[in-house]
Structure 1
Amino acid sequence: MLIKELKMADEFDDTGWAQIHHASQRGFVKSISFFLQDDPDLLELETKDERQLTPFLCAVDGGKTDSIQHLMDAGGKIDAMSAQNHGAIEICAMKQYIEVLEYFMKLDEPKLPVWKHLLRFLQSESDEEADAAGRCLRTLTQGSKAGGINPYWEHVYNNGGIPIIVKVAKSSIGEDAKVPTFQTLLNILSKPEVKEQVASSGGIPVFIRLLKSEKRYLIQLSAEILKEMATVKQYVELEVNNNIIPSLLKVLQTCHDPEVLVQIMDCFSNIANAEPKFQTQIGTTPNLVQTIVNLFEDQSDRAFLYSLCNAVGNICDHEENNQNMFVDNSVTRHIIVLTRFRSKEIQVSAVIAIYKLVHQNPHTQQVVVSENVTELLMELLKKTRAENVQEKTALALWALAGKEFDVKRYLATQIEVNLLIDFVNSNSEDLHFIGLEALTVLAQGPLNYQTEIAVANGIAPLGRLIRSEKEYIVLSVVRAMSALCVGVGFVPHPKNQDTILKFRGIKYLVALMVHSANEEIQVESAIALGSIALGNQTALEDINNNIDFSYVRILKLMYSEDPKVRLLAGHALATFAYNNINQQKVIAEQGGVRFNCFIQFLQSDEEFYRCNAAFQVVVLARIIPDEEQALSSAAGIKLLVDLLQDSESNDILALAADCIARLAHTRAGVPSAIVSIKTVDHLCSLLTRQAEQVRGNAAIALGYLSFNHSAERQILNRCRNDPYLMRILLYYTKQTKISPSFLQAWRHYKRIGLPRIPEGRTNLIGYKPEGMFEDGRPMTMLSFDDTSNTRSSASNLAGEDGRLTGRSSRASRISGTPRHSATPTAIQAASANLRGSQLSLDSQRSQHSLVQQEVTAGD
């Protein structure tokens, strides 16, 4: 029987196959062995059908690795080819035998180079063959579920696979047959080497042309490849030069498939992220912005809406013209809706888009605020428990506030102190920064929250954050400490100062002042130390006992190359020297300051520089050896009053009024000098400004000036003519001081009779900011503008006519001649008051709080 079977081994059946072929294909290893023992020539016997397969190829065709291995061991030709020119690898590809291919890879037979055969097969002109090779390569290069690229990518790359894939993309084979090849490329495209070969092989223009394909899925894959290539700036340049932007726009206008549109929008995102000039090209492409905005109405797919929000944000990020175009095309109303989605991912993308639309852009801030976005974001901020959503929402809200102090303060009060302290205690650096900035704003101003922040335990976390590795966080912490310790008019907050002392804040601040590599941190730390020591002898002794502290370090900063640092160094010295003769002597002994250090700032075109320098020269006048004390003080006072008279900026008006409030209760003679040049009139005019920072600071300054008899009469006269001014004055001086004799005189006027306050007059007390984004921006140490535009240094402050002026260059040009406060007579009058007056302000102060309460209640 066995002999009979052996004789039949070389006989062919109706299909043209012999028994050994069937045995090889089915994996009958024992039968193969019997056949070959009887007739070794059967090893290369070919079938008589159209394929002409050897037993080895039959075994491959059946996917039987046992048969394959047995026939190889028997000496079968592994590089045999069928009549269709298919070898073992090609047959595996046609059959999608991935495991057999991997089996051959492990064998690593030189006569059977798997990758070369697959890639050669990929170039076939037959759609079926190219598709089969592409599907095998796609499977072999597929990444794992855990993520990460498949190690087989390197074989494709090393065997010239990338240029071959590009060649396939260019070829005339059917578009459907190209799909698995493109998927293979996407599997390995994250590798920089692969991107480089795609670009060098001319792949970018090829895939851009394929965006015009009629096959939806081919467009999707081409866009995805271009999106991945756009993660590298140099390839974005190539894409843009090959007109990718109008090609993508065409797809947006003609395709409605969300899966395709996701890739298109992600591609736009990456192009915009690469460089600002590409953002500009996107924004200036005709009809592109409106087309993107319209997509919000036509689509509801979540993945697409997520990509759409990201794209809008990236196209607008720090690009003012794009921000304006999107907002003016009403994109905001669509994005607002997405903030209410249940999907946290979409919520976050929508909030980030709002943030990027309004960041540092007053126009878009105004438009977006007018659409009630602030209220919606505030609602989202307080309802969410997800830190990521909270973080992005807080960023958007803070961006909406812009630089306007009153708006920042309004938003900070809406967020509330406790939530802001939660931000500071969170794990998010963005929330740390916003929490610190908002608390700093609340700690400033005429109605500050210094005590509320302390009661809510908002100061202790500063001791932890001051050790942050992020300089911008450290800078915010230091500024927050300054704001928490000193209010308007340089009124110290002893409890907050003592709290910082308890967590050894002085040690950290001195270390930053001495060792920080950032000069801004050094000088802000010096200001914070001065604020903690202001009126607090314990803190001052602690600072002076620190072996590393020395005024010499601050004096050196007066000669920094950075004008901002020089100005702030002067502020730090003025803070230490304020109402403290002993510290003034120590500063003088350690080197002192020269009037020349202030000339550049006093003559600057920047009002902020002039305002701060003017205050500093008045406080430090006693220890400036190269200028007469009375003259330097008078010059500083006159500059401040000129700014009150001429400035059109809320920030400068508020700062100047604050400086007047500080000087109004400093050394004898200064209040009289201030009053002598009609300061009271200017301050009273500011009481009706809508900016609370301005009217509040002006009220506090008037409260301190009311201890001067001349100022008292002037204030009473203004308030008698307009009683509403008195209401504002009393409202903002609750936490500061006002002359009891002034209050008594007011009670007398009330008994005599006062004109009624007209009905319908705007109530500025508790006034909610409107028209939030006017040009004025409050200038504080926190929001200091880095830009500086100073005149060349001069040996004196005289103008062309020999007069010193504090008004802006714009006002000087318009008026042509100086007003009363710019005349030498004004300086001389102020100087005479400063020389002649020896009265102490403290002797004029008494128990006026009860009187104030009585008058307020009566009013």
Structure 2
Amino acid sequence: MGPTALHMAAKCGSLGSLTCLLALRADVTKVDERGWTAIHFAAFYDNVSCIRALYRKDPRFLELETSAQYNSTPLLLASMAGAFDSLQYLLSLGANLTKLDSENNNIIHLAALYSHTEILKYIIEQNIPELPVWELLTEMMKSKEYRKQEMGVRSLEVLCVTDKQYWKAIHSAGSIPALVDLLHSKYETLQCIAAAVLCNLSTYPEVCQSIMDYNIIPVLIELLHSKQPELQSRCSVILYDIALIDDNASLIASLNICSRAASALALFAINNPKLLDLIRACGGVQMLVFQKLLQSSEELDQVNAAFQMIILAKVIVDMDEVTLSATGIITLVNLLKSKKASTVIVVGRLLSSLTQIREGISDAIITMGAVEVLCTHLYAEREQVRNSCATALGYLSFNRTGHRHLLKECRNQPELYDLLIANICKDGKISKEFTDEFEVQKLLGLPIET
């Protein structure tokens, strides 16, 4: 059913036509195919005079929900459309501030999702306890839905430059860890916007001290390798601001130089025996380079050093290859037990790479108990943790010992197999022999292994 004459009058803001139709007893409860009545049209298209006339006709229209789409009230539609005057008027009438639509969005969520930052700014200025804007935007950044993450951080980006004093509220709302988490995102767009927000906030010493608590220096240094000029420049600015505080300048410099040099060597040496021979002919590498990073208080430095040691084991001149590889693998598996999601994500990715470079590495990883630890992370709240660990398990399933260990875990925890399959990255792999055997055992209903 299409719109009625009353709907069109409300939509176009034709108060005369609407008043005439009401006098002729037009059906004010009539809905279109979306379940919208006249007051929904008036609210969405920002026609306050029409809202006023319809509200006087029946005050119950104030909380009337659309019957076919999202169950939205006039206030929710006004927020979605950025209908500022309508929103102010509906709030003055006492519309329900905390009302949620069928997607669990309130007026803050909708204003952010549709880029209406002027509405967010208005709610902030009104200081409404039921609508904590900063906390709700932080919640959006932590969401599993990409669109909510993106629009939450975009709203924060606009607001933090709208009023310089907002940095205090953003800091107090616990937004810093959520922004740092977005720097670890697999989406470069999210990394870029999060870096922009942190770039605007890092001029304040209190914020710099906070972001230092979340192991941000290695992440920023890693992002300097990005092909996105904007991301590089923003990370550089944040590092500059951090360097101005306490002893951070020397920390950044030493970590940057050692990490970059070892990272470059390891990158080019992967599956490249000729280059390894050339490095050794040039005098090789001293263990001291990695020892510094292994003793760093930053877990990501330890992770990268351990990985680089394994790759460059043949060219480190003051320790034997077996000891170096074992030390690196033990370090990685131990760090896999970290409580920091960022550490677990990186370790999972590096383990995936290591399973493909040299015979015997997978056996050592499995012997150290990596399969069991990786399996526990499949229950993690963060999708990136699950993706990273599931992909590593997929590659380990090609190893016969890894195959048996993983099969045992999946038999003991039936839901684990579904989590594993659902979270493997698109470019990841899993042994067909393993999946076929699990399906057969599932059909046979074999007992739990002890």
TM-score when normalising by structure 1:
0.28
* Contact preservation (8 Å) 1:657, 1:701: yes
Quote the Cα distance in structure 1 between the aligned partners of 2:298 and 2:284.
26
Quote the Cα distance in structure 1 between the aligned partners of 2:186 and 2:361.
36
Q: Identity of paired residues, percent? A: 29
Aligned-pair CA distance for 1:609? 2.2
Quote the Cα distance in structure 1 between the aligned partners of 2:313 and 2:293.
16
Distance 1:569 1:366, change over 3 A: farther
Aligned-pair CA distance for 1:410? 11
Aligned-pair CA distance for 1:579? 2.1
Q: Which residue among 709, 732, 742 is the counterpart of 2:434?
A: 742
Aligned-pair CA distance for 1:628? 0.4
Offset from partner CA, 1:286-326 (integer Å, 9 cap, x none): xxxxxxxxxxxxxxxx9xxxxxxxxxxxxxxxxxxxxxxxx
Q: Which residue among 687, 694, 697 is the counterpart of 2:388?
A: 697
Quote the Cα distance in structure 2 between the aligned partners of 1:370 and 1:560.
31
1:402 alignment partner in structure 2: 176
Quote the Cα distance in structure 2 between the aligned partners of 1:663 and 1:611.
13
Distance 1:667 1:405, change over 3 A: farther
Alignment partner of 1:619 is 2:380: no
Q: Look up the equivalent residue of 2:433 and give its one-letter code.
A: S
Q: Which residue among 243, 263, 284 is the counterpart of 1:592?
A: 284
Quote the Cα distance in structure 1 between the aligned partners of 2:412 and 2:265.
42
Q: Look up the equivalent residue of 1:651 and give its one-letter code.
A: S
Offset from partner CA, 1:75-129 (integer Å, 9 cap, x none): xxxxxxxxxxxxxxxxxxxxxxxxxxxxxxxxxxxxxxxxxxxxxxxxxxxxxxx
Offset from partner CA, 1:189-228 (integer Å, 9 cap, x none): xxxxxxxxxxxxxxxxxxxxxxxxxxxxxxxxxxxxxxxx
Q: How many positions carry a matched residue from both structures?
A: 287
Alignment partner of 1:720 is 2:411: yes
Distance 1:755 1:650, change over 3 A: farther
Aligned-pair CA distance for 1:352? 9.6
Quote the Cα distance in structure 2 between the aligned partners of 1:612 and 1:410.
15
SS in structure 1 at match of 2:398: coil
1:730 alignment partner in structure 2: 421
* Contact preservation (8 Å) 1:401, 1:408: no
Quote the Cα distance in structure 2 between the aligned partners of 1:379 and 1:614.
32
SS in structure 2 at match of 1:687: helix
Q: Which residue among 321, 325, 330 is the counterpart of 1:633?
A: 325
2:254 alignment partner in structure 1: 562
Quote the Cα distance in structure 2 between the aligned partners of 1:597 and 1:686.
31
Aligned-pair CA distance for 1:688? 1.2
Aligned-pair CA distance for 1:597? 0.8
Quote the Cα distance in structure 1 between the aligned partners of 2:421 and 2:232.
41
Q: Look up the equivalent residue of 2:419 and give its one-letter code.
A: I
Alignment partner of 1:656 is 2:347: yes
Quote the Cα distance in structure 2 between the aligned partners of 1:345 and 1:611.
40
1:606 alignment partner in structure 2: 298
Quote the Cα distance in structure 1 between the aligned partners of 2:260 and 2:435.
38
Aligned-pair CA distance for 1:723? 1.9
Q: Which residue among 258, 267, 271 is the counterpart of 1:575?
A: 267
Quote the Cα distance in structure 2 between the aligned partners of 1:379 and 1:686.
22
Quote the Cα distance in structure 2 between the aligned partners of 1:381 and 1:717.
42
* Contact preservation (8 Å) 1:348, 1:388: no
Quote the Cα distance in structure 2 between the aligned partners of 1:675 and 1:381.
41
Q: Within 5 Å, which residues of 2 pair with 1:352-363? A: none
Alignment partner of 1:472 is 2:244: no
Quote the Cα distance in structure 1 between the aligned partners of 2:290 and 2:150.
48
SS in structure 1 at match of 2:257: helix
* Contact preservation (8 Å) 1:723, 1:755: no
SS in structure 2 at match of 1:737: coil
Alignment partner of 1:709 is 2:379: no
Quote the Cα distance in structure 2 between the aligned partners of 1:694 and 1:381.
22
* Contact preservation (8 Å) 2:270, 2:311: yes
* Contact preservation (8 Å) 1:700, 1:736: yes
Task: Please tell me whether Structure 1 or Structure 2 has the larger radius of gyration of its CA atoms.
Answer: 1
SS in structure 2 at match of 1:569: helix
Q: Which residue among 374, 384, 401 is the counterpart of 1:683?
A: 374
Offset from partner CA, 1:6-47 (integer Å, 9 cap, x none): xxxxxxxxxxxxxxxxxxxxxxxxxxxxxxxxxxxxxxxxxx
Quote the Cα distance in structure 2 between the aligned partners of 1:673 and 1:365.
47
SS in structure 2 at match of 1:402: helix
* Contact preservation (8 Å) 2:348, 2:392: yes
Q: Which consecutive residues of structure 1, in runs of 5 or more, have no partner in the other structure?
A: 1-301, 303-334, 355-362, 435-461, 477-516, 521-558, 757-859
Quote the Cα distance in structure 1 between the aligned partners of 2:287 and 2:149.
53
Alignment partner of 1:665 is 2:426: no
* Contact preservation (8 Å) 2:138, 2:178: no
Aligned-pair CA distance for 1:378? 6.3
Please give the root-mean-square deviation of Cα atoms over the aligned residues, in Å. Answer: 5.3
Q: Look up the equivalent residue of 2:356 and give its one-letter code.
A: H
Quote the Cα distance in structure 2 between the aligned partners of 1:570 and 1:351.
50
* Contact preservation (8 Å) 2:379, 2:386: yes
TM-score when normalising by structure 2:
0.50
1:451 alignment partner in structure 2: none
Quote the Cα distance in structure 2 between the aligned partners of 1:650 and 1:642.
14
Quote the Cα distance in structure 1 between the aligned partners of 2:140 and 2:149.
15
* Contact preservation (8 Å) 1:578, 1:666: yes
Q: Look up the equivalent residue of 2:233 and give its one-letter code.
A: Y
Q: Within 5 Å, which residues of 2 pair with 1:26-45? A: none
* Contact preservation (8 Å) 1:614, 1:636: yes
Aligned-pair CA distance for 1:670? 0.6
Offset from partner CA, 1:507-553 (integer Å, 9 cap, x none): xxxxxxxxxx9xx9xxxxxxxxxxxxxxxxxxxxxxxxxxxxxxxxx
Aligned-pair CA distance for 1:588? 3.6
2:23 alignment partner in structure 1: none
2:336 alignment partner in structure 1: 644
Quote the Cα distance in structure 2 between the aligned partners of 1:686 and 1:373.
18
Aligned-pair CA distance for 1:752? 0.6
Q: Look up the equivalent residue of 1:669 and give its one-letter code.
A: G
* Contact preservation (8 Å) 2:377, 2:386: yes
Q: Within 5 Å, which residues of 2 pair with 1:686-835? A: 686-733=377-424, 734-753=426-445
SS in structure 1 at match of 2:364: helix
Offset from partner CA, 1:629-683 (integer Å, 9 cap, x none): 11100011011112224x2222222222222222111111111111112221111
* Contact preservation (8 Å) 1:336, 1:350: no
Q: Within 5 Å, which residues of 2 pair with 1:294-333? A: none
Q: Within 5 Å, which residues of 2 pair with 1:837-848? A: none
Distance 1:336 1:373, change over 3 A: farther
Distance 1:690 1:588, change over 3 A: same
Quote the Cα distance in structure 2 between the aligned partners of 1:684 and 1:409.
25
Quote the Cα distance in structure 1 between the aligned partners of 2:299 and 2:133.
27
Aligned-pair CA distance for 1:627? 1.0
